[in-house]
Amino acid sequence: MVAQDIPLILVVEDETLIRWNAVEMIFDAGWRALEAANAEEALERLSTHPGVSILFTDVNLPGPLDGVELAHLVHRSHPRVQIVITSGKGAVQDGEIPDDGTFLPKPYGVDDLQRVVEQKLA
């Protein structure tokens, strides 16, 4: 399989250890990952890596945009990118998530993350 054929997931998380853990889970599942610590970095990664399949973002991010706002912006500007939102501080209401977006509560395990990503890629 050519690297471009392997799904690319953009992980947006300001907590470094949590971000590294998510990226490791993604790599272990055989997918590729990009990292960003905030919404601005995420938008930069999206502009330089057009092959991103999934945006996997935490709700609470530093800077002017939180994860929900980032998800809506990406949904409008990159409609083919699937959205997964995560948070450990409570669920996001259905109306807050972009159409076809998915909420994955923290803490999540490898099986949870892989299940959600596989659903998004199907």
Q: What is the pLDDT along the chain (122 residues), one digit of tens a residue?
A: 566 789 999 999 999 999 999 999 999 999 999 999 999 999 999 999 999 999 999 999 999 999 999 999 999 999 999 999 999 887 777 678 998 899 999 999 999 999 999 999 99
DSSP result, the chain: --GGGS-EEEEE-SSHHHHHHHHHHHHHTT-EEEEESSHHHHHHHHHH-TTEEEEEEES--SSS--HHHHHHHHHHH-TTSEEEEEESS-PPPGGGSPTT-EEEESS--HHHHHHHHHHHH-
CATH of the domain at 94: 3.40.50.2300
Report whether 37 contacts 28 (CB < 8 A). no
Structural domain count of the chain: 1
Domain boundaries, position 49: 3-121
